[in-house]
């Protein structure tokens, strides 16, 4: 059976991972967190002193994911999206969170002041939404609110309906 590939993207702290894991367990699709994948495989290309984090080796990440993506049925979670091949994804969801809520979530993660400010600004200017629109066909890019627990449930139900419809449309 053909299954779709889904990209969950958005600023750190918008709850991509919470949505992705829950979605995977309810849909049977495979969940891949690119940050975890990079950590496990050491898919890095240096270290960013300013942000105090390793720099992702995007080419190696793409190589690592290629086979799984061509099989289909994968949910990919990452805060960047412009380096993935366009052909990989059937739909892209950009999660969006109110700045005050986002600030608290990132503060709880222990982000330093610069990282906090830059990520909240990233959200204000909708940087990830713009990046998604520049990288994929506009009709497959959708924004979803991610502020309260009910949003999570609504988003899961909406995406599950979409998966069901996609499978129907592609099963002939």
148 is in an annotated binding site: yes
In 3D space, the residue among 62, 98, 65, 100 whose CA is nearest the CA of residue 82 turns out to be 62
Under a CB-based contact definition with an 8 Å cutoff, are residues 108 and 24 in contact? Answer: no
d(CA 72, CA 90): 10
d(CA 113, CA 40): 28
Tokens coding 90: 């059937």
Under a CB-based contact definition with an 8 Å cutoff, are residues 145 and 96 in contact? Answer: yes
Tokens coding 99: 């700045």
13 is in an annotated binding site: yes
26 is in an annotated binding site: no
Under a CB-based contact definition with an 8 Å cutoff, are residues 81 and 130 in contact? Answer: no
109 is in an annotated binding site: yes
Q: Which helix (H) or strand (E) holds 56?
A: strand 53-56
Which residues contribute to the annotated binding site?
Answer: 13, 16-18, 109, 148
Which residues contribute to the annotated binding site for ATP?
Answer: 13, 16-18, 109, 148
């Amino acid at each position: 059976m053909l299954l779709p590939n889904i990209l969950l993207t958005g600023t750190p702290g918008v709850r991509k991972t919470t949505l992705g894991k829950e979605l995977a367990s309810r849909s049977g699709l495979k969940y891949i967190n690119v940050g975890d994948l990079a950590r496990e495989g050491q898919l890095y290309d240096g270290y960013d002193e300013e942000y105090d984090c390793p720099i992702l080796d995007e080419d190696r990440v793409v190589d690592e994911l290629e086979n799984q993506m061509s099989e289909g049925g994968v949910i990919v979670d990452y805060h960047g999206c412009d380096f993935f091949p366009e052909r990989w994804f059937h739909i892209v969801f950009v999660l969006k969170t109110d700045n005050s809520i986002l600030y608290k979530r990132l503060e709880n993660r222990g982000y330093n002041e610069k990282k906090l400010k830059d990520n909240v600004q990233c959200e204000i200017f909708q940087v990830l939404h713009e990046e998604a629109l520049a990288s994929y066909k506009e009709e497959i890019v959708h924004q979803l609110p991610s502020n309260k627990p009910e949003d999570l449930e609504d988003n899961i139900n909406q995406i599950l309906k979409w998966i069901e419809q996609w499978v129907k449309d592609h099963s002939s």
